[in-house]
Amino acid sequence: MIKKLVAGNWKMNGGLAANEALLAALRPVSGVDVALCVPHPYLAQLQRRPPGFELGAQDVSEFAAGAYTGEVSAAMLADFGCRYVIVGHSERRALFGEDDATVARKACAALSGGLVPIVCVGETLDEREAGEALAVITRQLAAVVEVLGKEGLSRSVLAYEPVWAIGSGRSATAEQAEEVHAAIRAWLVEQGVDATGVRILYGGSVKPDNAMELFAMPNVDGGLIGGASLVAGDFMAICRAAGV
Ligand code: PEP
C-alpha cells in the first residue's frame, strides 16, 4: 500500500508572524508524509519547522541558472531543503499562461535538481460538462511523459485538482475523485509507466469533514490542500484522516 502524502499549498498567503503562529500549532502525525509548500521568501523561515514536516515550494524555473530575472531554480529550492515543488497548478496555468509543455519542462527541471515534482492536472467545469475531463487530463499528462520519460514520471507525484473544486468549497465527491484517479493510474500503466508507487493526490476543497471519505478511496493517495492548510486545526485533522 502506498503511504499517503498530504501537502499544504499556502499559495500567496502568510507573513513572518502568522507563519510562526501556524507552525507553533502543528504537530507530527504518524502514518502519513506531510509537506508544507510555502512562498519562496518563507523557505528560510521554514528551516525551523516542527519535526515530521517536509518542505516544498509552489513553482520552479524551467531553467537551471543564469539571466532569468525573478526566477528561482530547483537547485536553489534544494539548497533550502525542499523535497517537493508543485508544478502546473491550475492558477499558474490560468493566470500565468503556463501551458502543458512549460509544465513538463518545469517538472523536468525539478527532477534534475533533485526535487519531487507534484504535477497538477485537472479539468474545468466546462470541460467536465462536455465529457472531456479525461481527455484533458491525459493530454496534460502525456506532455509530461514526453519530457520526463516513463521513469521520470514514476518518480513524480501527481495531483488531480478539478479546477471547479479549487477554492470553491465544492469538492469532488469521493466517487468522482476515485473514478478519475483510477483512470489516471490505468492510463499510466497503458503508457508503460510503473504506476504502482506513484502517489496520486486529490486537491480541491478538501476539509476535515470530507477528508476521511476521500482518502478512503483505493486510488486516492493523499491530498493537496489549499485554504485548509492555513488553519492549523483543520490541516492537522486532514493529516490525521490520511494517517489512519
Ligand atoms: C489548491 O490550491 O491546490 C487547492 C486544492 O485549494 P483548496 O484546497 O483551497 O481548494
Q: What is the per-residue pLDDT for 119?
A: 98
Interstrand relation of 82-87 and 222-225 (parallel, antiparallel or unpaired) = unpaired
Q: What is the per-residue pLDDT for 33?
A: 98
Q: In this model, does residue 3 exceed pLDDT 90?
A: yes
- Which residue's C-alpha comes closest to atom 4 of ligand 1? 226
The count of domains in the chain is 1
One-letter amino acid of 28: P
B/e letters for 112-144, b = 16+ CB within 10 Å, e = fewer, are: ebebbbbbbbbbbeebbeeeebbebbbebbebb
CATH for 212: 3.20.20.70
pTM summary value? 0.98
Domain range for residue 86? 5-243
Mean pLDDT of the chain: 97
Candidate from 91, 171, 225 with most ligand 1 atoms within 8 A of CB, to mutate:
225
pLDDT class of 17 with cuts at 50, 70, 90 = very high
Q: What is the per-residue pLDDT for 1?
A: 84
Q: How far is CA 23 from CA 27, 52, 116, 236, in A?
A: 9, 12, 23, 11
Span 191-240, pLDDT tens digits = 999 998 999 999 999 999 999 999 999 999 999 999 999 999 999 999 99
Span 79-136, pLDDT tens digits = 999 999 999 999 999 999 999 999 999 999 999 999 999 999 999 999 999 999 999 9
How close is the Cα of 225 to the center of ligand 1, in Å? 5
Q: In this model, does residue 170 exceed pLDDT 90?
A: yes
Q: What is the per-residue pLDDT for 244?
A: 85
Atom of ligand 1 lying closest to residue 206 CA: 8
Reply yes or no on whether 161 is catalytic: yes
